[in-house]
Structure 1
Amino acid sequence: MSESKIAVVTGASRGAGKGIALALGAAGATVYVTGRTTAASAADLPGTVAQTADEVTRRGGTGIPVIVDHSDDDQVAALFDQVRTDHGRLDILVNNAITLPPALTKKGPFWDKPLDLTDLFDVGMRSAYVATYYAAPLLVANGTGLVVNTSSFGGSCYMHGPAYGAGKAAVDKMAHDMAVDFKPFDVAVISLWMGLLKTERTIAAFEADPAMYEGLAASAESVEFPGRIIAALSSHESRMERTGQVLIGAEVAEELGVSDVDGNQPPSHRPFLGDPPTFSSSVIE
């Protein structure tokens, strides 16, 4: 980044959100870290909002922990009121918060899985809309910015069933449509397809059955890789050229010269998982 940025990363206690927050912090950003986790539990995956924020600061940025339940619109509105009071502007919003029910990866048809898989329509799909809604005045007043919806190839191929696929396809299309409204204000909106990430959950699966996941583990991306891409794109001259698009993170990284934390260039999964969608350029108000 060429200057210090003000960023909000939702759902950043752990996983992709944590990695994105850390990468933005390493680039010097002030990062509002949101999530619900306030205390680590032996029964749960590690990571809290405060721990992520502390690590952002250790990386060279400024981490600000904010406890937010992204199913509560009032809490989301209060988050952006805090950003307005503290800084009066916002440069980057990363919509990453999502509910991942335990049965999500259970094999079998959707009718054999619990209906709570549709919870990700609330925290995941709707929460991205709500956060961007409340962030919009700050982004517009700033006169520039970047909104990123974290997504995956599940928006195009069958992945974990129709609930997950519908949620990802929705945030992809949402990015395209929001970009139309934001374009006059020099605010870019993209949906970023991430590869298999080395999250706490994924690493636990690798360790439980190393032989089964050996091939996948070799090509997995660090959780900081998407954040490195976002940091680079936020200041890149091609930012507005990409607005409204669904982008494959690994491909953008290669174009922008961004490598993973180990110096490697993770591969694009386009050859076997398919292409991102292409939307119509028609605008009907």
Structure 2
Amino acid sequence: MNKNLKGQIALVTGASRGVGKGIAIGLGESGATVYITGRTIKPINNNTDGSLQETQTAVEKAGGTCIPIQVDHSDDKQIRQLFERIDEEQEGKLDILVNNAYAGGQTLLDSFSKSFWESDPTLWDVANNVGLRSHYITSVYAARMMIKRKTGFICNISSWAGVSYVFSVPYGVGKSSCDRLASDMAQELKQYNVTSISVYPGIVGTEMTTNFDWKEYPDSFKTAFGHGYYNWETPLFTGRAIAALASDPNLIKQTGRVRIVAEVAQKYGFFDKDGNRPVSFRSLRFSLPMANSFLRKYPWLVPDIKIPWFIILLTMLSSPKI
């Protein structure tokens, strides 16, 4: 990767594992100095939990500079202190904020078979306190730094649950709100040359999903997450997408929009960790092979054509719960 981000300062929240770890590596290999946050500093005996030290090692192996800071993003005071430290250490410079922290993954999976009225009302807080509210808090502090220098990039990690039902009511509302947060912040930040975007990864092979016991869930759930890991992305793919966006000198023209990782890869010409380039979930090459085992073996037979959003939404609305 080119060192297009050399000299830039980035912050990735929730980067001890999964997509956050991949984003930190992607920004690091592009030359940025990357601050990362999470609750776990040192490795523990569980390969799905991850740690900030492990992410730091991976970023440095990729040629980047990484600064880990232990932060609980449910605590506003700790978030404020995080930005005070970055402000002091970098003399007010912060170029990139990636809002990725999320704390409700396992709880959402545990409550998968329940409707919202059957779940404890606190499911809302589990899904959206760190996964949405903390994004707003970090964006407030980041914006205060960025507008002073009249440059910056705030990125919310969302998902296609922002446009259709996935998992549960609190999850979908939270992701939709992440998109709206990015869009509305863009309205107020554009005059200061600060870009605000929401990003949709595809089906990502994180530590959790690759070690997942799929037998406990219905076929519709398995179908939604790919037969035989078809078209899965690595966490680094999202990292490279954000690095590519951050390197675009005309990024402000995309402010307020949703960007799909696979489509960003196609636009900017980069590949995933394994040298492949997964297609967008709104590509015909994604949807047809998902429903046909023969085409999953020969996906190149299907043209990589984008399906209009309204058709995707109609299909999702008629699909079983996922």
TM-score (norm 2): 0.80
Matches within 5 A, 1:159-238: 159-205=166-212, 215=227, 217-238=229-250
Within 2, Cα distance between the matches of 1:77 and 1:54?
26
- Deviations, residues 137-186 of structure 1 (Å, cap 9, x unaligned): 22112321111000000011110011100000001000001011111111
Q: Any unmatched runs of 5+ in structure 2? A: 288-306, 311-322
Find the counterpart in structure 1 of residue 11 from structure 2: 8
Identity %, equivalent residues: 40
91 and 158 in structure 1: CA distance in 2 versus 1, 3 angstrom threshold: same
Within 2, Cα distance between the matches of 1:134 and 1:214?
38
Find the counterpart in structure 1 of residue 260 from structure 2: 248
Matches within 5 A, 1:271-282: 271=283, 275=309
182 and 19 in structure 1: CA distance in 2 versus 1, 3 angstrom threshold: same
Instruction: Say which of 139, 142, 162 aligns to 2:146.
Output: 139
Within 1, Cα distance between the matches of 2:191 and 2:114?
46
Q: CA deviation at 1:4?
A: 2.4
Find the counterpart in structure 1 of residue 79 from structure 2: 76
2:226/2:232 contact within 8 Å kept? no
Q: CA deviation at 1:206?
A: 7.1
Q: CA deviation at 1:216?
A: 5.1
2:5/2:27 contact within 8 Å kept? no
Amino acid at match of 1:142: R
Q: CA deviation at 1:251?
A: 1.0
1:49/1:65 contact within 8 Å kept? yes
Greater displacement, 255-264 / 165-174: 255-264
- Deviations, residues 32-55 of structure 1 (Å, cap 9, x unaligned): 010111343335723111221232
Q: CA deviation at 1:114?
A: 3.5
Amino acid at match of 1:103: T
Provide the aligned C-alpha RMSD in A: 2.4
Find the counterpart in structure 1 of residue 101 from structure 2: 97
101 and 20 in structure 1: CA distance in 2 versus 1, 3 angstrom threshold: closer
Within 1, Cα distance between the matches of 2:30 and 2:184?
29
Matches within 5 A, 1:107-126: 107-118=113-124, 119-126=126-133
Q: CA deviation at 1:87?
A: 0.8
Within 1, Cα distance between the matches of 2:119 and 2:45?
26
Amino acid at match of 1:109: S
Q: CA deviation at 1:100?
A: 1.7
Secondary structure of 2:309 counterpart: coil
Within 1, Cα distance between the matches of 2:88 and 2:161?
37
- Deviations, residues 70-96 of structure 1 (Å, cap 9, x unaligned): 111111111111111111200100000
233 and 206 in structure 1: CA distance in 2 versus 1, 3 angstrom threshold: farther
Q: CA deviation at 1:214?
A: 6.4
Q: Any unmatched runs of 5+ in structure 1? A: 277-285
Find the counterpart in structure 2 of residue 265 from structure 1: 277
Greater displacement, 193-202 / 266-275: 266-275
Find the counterpart in structure 2 of residue 281 from structure 1: none
Q: CA deviation at 1:127?
A: 0.5
Larger Rg: 2
Within 2, Cα distance between the matches of 1:166 and 1:156?
9
Secondary structure of 1:270 counterpart: coil
TM-score (norm 1): 0.90
Q: CA deviation at 1:237?
A: 3.1
Q: CA deviation at 1:101?
A: 4.5
